[in-house]
Every structure is written in structure tokens, then in C-alpha cells.
Amino acid sequence: MSDATDATADARPDEVLPGDGGDILAVPPDRDVGPTGTKPPSRRAAIMRTGIVVAVLAIVFLVILPRYIDYQDVIAAFQGLTAAQIGLVAVTGVIAWVATGLIFAALIPGLSWIKGTQAWLILAGVGASIPLGPWNMAVLWVIIRGWGRDAQATTGGIALYGIFDQLSRLAMGVVGALILIFAERRGTTIDVEQGSILALGVISGVILGIALALLIGIVRSEALARRIGAMGARLVGWLYARLGRSGVPDVMASVLHFRETLGDIVRQRGALAFGLAVLSKLAWALVLVTALRVCGVTPEVLPTSEIVAVFAVVFIITILPISPGGAGVPELLYLSMFSTLTGGQDATQISAGVMLYRTFQWFLPIPLAWLLLWISRRGKSLLPTAAEFKGGDAAPAAAASASA
């Protein structure tokens, strides 16, 4: 899974987005243990991972982007913003944080919207600053356990967050296509390549429909789950045979394990979580639109429908972890697509708007994540230990006061 983002990019979010579920799904339902396959990276590994993010950012912002934008003009555009304009973007950014955090609150019983927001900030910020692998999800697991939440519910909620985040990204392809169709019928001039966006919307809709049908089928009927598992096993076996690989995974067991451990949560809270995930993406689209507007990009230059369409395309592209921690690539995608649509018009204002948007989506969650870790782990090491990842020291010491 990627970014909020875009990662949940990449956690994505960045995006958010962020992180792969990995071994966190392997927690047996009858054991109070954490993601046992996960261990904290060594100091050297952590520095190397952070160094990769810094290197990607350096390439993007010091080598590539200076060919297309003038940083002095962008800084001047920022300086021209009023406190009210910055405050407006900040309000929409906080709304997007809360909207994304509500997914955790929906999936983990007893978790408040405040704790849900903190959970997303920790997931996104740690994943963006020390990327690669599911380690940020394991850190979040320990933190939520420290808030007094049940181990199995926490494991299931974090795993399902990643699933619904990816499904909502696909849903944005459909939303972007529908908005373009609506704008066209209202007579709005659309410069974006409608055929490509509509095709992407159809493809996204088909994949989303299949994914939702499989998910619903698995949790609704054991017999259907077994048939889906058998079909999956045949498909995976065929792929492994074509690739000449041995050791085919037990797809049937994985499907039945998913149904056993997460089926109840999906049946009871899945529809709400998916709706909130889509709502969170729309909230981030609002942040992008607001940031561009306050920076001087008018609807005549970039209609809202085109902004949302590009937003949807970027979120779909960044389902794949293109860059570690969601660093740099989303900016390139936004700026290149907007430049194509406008023919280079208002390049400075567009650049400033995208950077302002990414400040709330990718940059600010990083320091806030580490601040929240420091607050949540007073009296302990800043990062969880290997024993805590295994559940040995994850029992909440002050659950009553820390829980929402």
C-alpha cells in the first residue's frame, strides 16, 4: 500500500498515505500479540531510508523543478498571501486530517475521532520520514494499543485502513470522470483530455467493482469465500508456473484467515469506512482547490473540474509506491499535468498552490507525527522496542486516561 495517502502517498498522506500491511495481518485472533514479523530498523537502516527520501527530494526540487519554475517567484507568491488566505487553507487541511482519521475511528471500536486523527498523522509522518516496509504500521499498532484498544481490533483496523484507502483511490477515478461529464453538460470549457480521463474512470470503476464484489463475497459467505480462494489459488499457481517459481502461497488459507479475523469488522463497519475513505479523498481535493485559488489560479485558467480530475489521476497513479515515503513524485505529476492543461500559464501561481497543498498533505504530518510519538510515549523510548512489536510490552499502562 502506498500514500494519503498519495501515499497514502503514499500514507500515503502523504497521502498516505503509507506502508504495506505485510505481517501485521498474520496476528492470530486468539493471541494478544503484535505484528511479530516486524522489527524496528537499525539506526543505520533508518538513516539510509531517510537519506533516500532526502535524495529524491533533492533530485526533484534542486535538479528537475528549477528547469520549469523560478523559486524566487514562488517565494514571492507565498509572501503575497494574507493571513486569512493561509488560515483558509489551514482549516481545509485540518478538516482533511480529521476526515482521514475518521476511517481509523470507524474501524477500531472505542477510538475517538481525535485519536483517529492522531493515528493518521503518526502513520503518514513516520512513513514519510522513515519509509520502506510496514514499520510505520507496526509503530502505530503499538501506539494505539497504548491508548487502551484491543490487540486484535487494532490489528484489523490498521490492516483494513490500508484496504479501504486503496479502494477509495480507485473510486476517485470514477468521481473525476463524473465531475468532468457534469461540467461538460453545464457548458464549462474543458481542456483536459476527456477521453483519457473517462477511460481511466471506467477502468477504475471496473477494478473497484471487482474488488468490492470479492470483499463482500468473502465476508458474506464461507462457501463463496472458499470458491474465491480456489480461483485465487489456481490463478496464483498459474502465475508462479509461468514465472518458474516454486513455493506457491496457500491462497485458500489466507482468504479464510481474512474472513475469520476481519470478516465481522467488514460486515459491521465496512460500508461506513469505505464512505469515509472516499470522503477523505474529496476533503484533500478541496485542500488542493483552495490552495490553488488563494495563490491566484482562477477558474478561468484551471476549472475546479479539471483540478479534481488531475487530483484523481495522481491518486490512482500513486497507488503504486513510485517514490519512498511519497517524496517528490506527486509534485512532479501535479505540476506537469497542470502545465499541460494551461499551456504554462500562471506557472508560478500553480507551483505555489501545489507546494502549499503538499505542505499540509505531506510535510506537516512529519513533525507532528514525531511530536505525537513523544507525547504518547512519555517515560519510554521515542520509538517502540522489538518486544513491544511482539506484544510483550504493549499493554496499556494508562489506558483509562489515554483512551478517547
Among the residue ranges 119-133, 269-283, 304-318, 341-355, the one predicted with the least confidence is: 119-133
Q: Give 92's contacts (C-beta < 8 A, 6+ positions apart).
A: 283, 286, 287, 290, 360
pLDDT of residue 403: 41
Q: Which pLDDT band, with edges at 50, 70 and 90, does 48 fall under?
A: confident
Q: Is the model's pLDDT at 5 over the cut of 50?
A: no
Mean pLDDT of 29-35: 48
Cell triple for 159: 490492516
Using a pLDDT cut of 90, give the percent of the chain over it: 55
The predicted model gives 251-271 an average pLDDT of 92
Instruction: Look up residue 269 and give its three cell numbers.
Output: 463497519
pLDDT at residue 402 tops 60: no
**Residue, of 235 and 12, whose pLDDT is higher:** 235
Cα angle vertex 225, ends 220, 229, to 5°? 160
Contact criterion met (CB below 8 Å) for 8 and 172: no
Amino acid identity for residue 97 in this structure: W
- pLDDT for 10 equals 39
- Cell numbers at residue 381, please? 523510548
d(CA 108, CA 265): 9
Q: What is the pLDDT of residue 187?
A: 57
Q: Where do we find the cell 498523522?
A: 121
8-28: pLDDT as tens digits? 333 443 333 333 333 444 444
Residues in the chain, how many?
A: 404
- Give pLDDT, residue 40: 65
Query: Which pLDDT score, from 0 to 100, does residue 156 have?
Result: 92
Residue from 362, 286, 276 nearest 61 by CA = 362
Report, as an integer, the average pLDDT of 20-49: 56
So what's the pLDDT on residue 35? Answer: 61
Q: How far apart are CA 254 and CA 230, in angstroms?
A: 11
pLDDT for 34 equals 56
**Mean pLDDT on 43-65:** 82
Q: pLDDT value at position 382? A: 83
In the predicted structure, residue 56 carries a pLDDT above the cut 90: no
Helices 304-317 and 251-294 pack at an angle, to 10 degrees, of 150
Does the structure show a pLDDT above 50 at 42? yes
pTM for the model stands at: 0.85
More confident residue, 267 or 327: 267
- Is residue 343 within 8 Å of 290, Cβ to Cβ? no
pLDDT of residue 181: 81
pLDDT the model gives residue 75: 93
pLDDT of residue 201: 86
Q: Which residue has the cell 464484489?
A: 213
**pLDDT above 70 for 85:** yes
Of 209, 181, 99, 171, the residue nearest 315 (C-alpha): 171
Question: What local confidence, expressed as pLDDT, does residue 46 receive?
Answer: 75
32: nearest Cα among 376, 402, 392, 397: 392
The cell for 24 is 501485521
Task: Quickly state the pLDDT bin for 160 (edges 50, 70, 90).
Answer: very high
In the prediction, which pLDDT does 265 show?
A: 93
Report the pLDDT value the prediction gives residue 194, as an integer from 0 to 100: 65
pLDDT at 378 > cutoff 70:
yes
Residue 131 CA neighbour count, 13 Å, CB half: 32
pLDDT at 325: 63
**Amino acid (one-letter) located at 364:** L
Q: What is each CA distance from 353 to 66, 136, 233, 292, 293, in whole angstroms?
A: 16, 29, 47, 4, 8
d(CA 119, CA 140): 7
Residues 391/117/57/311 CA torsion (nearest 10 deg)? 130
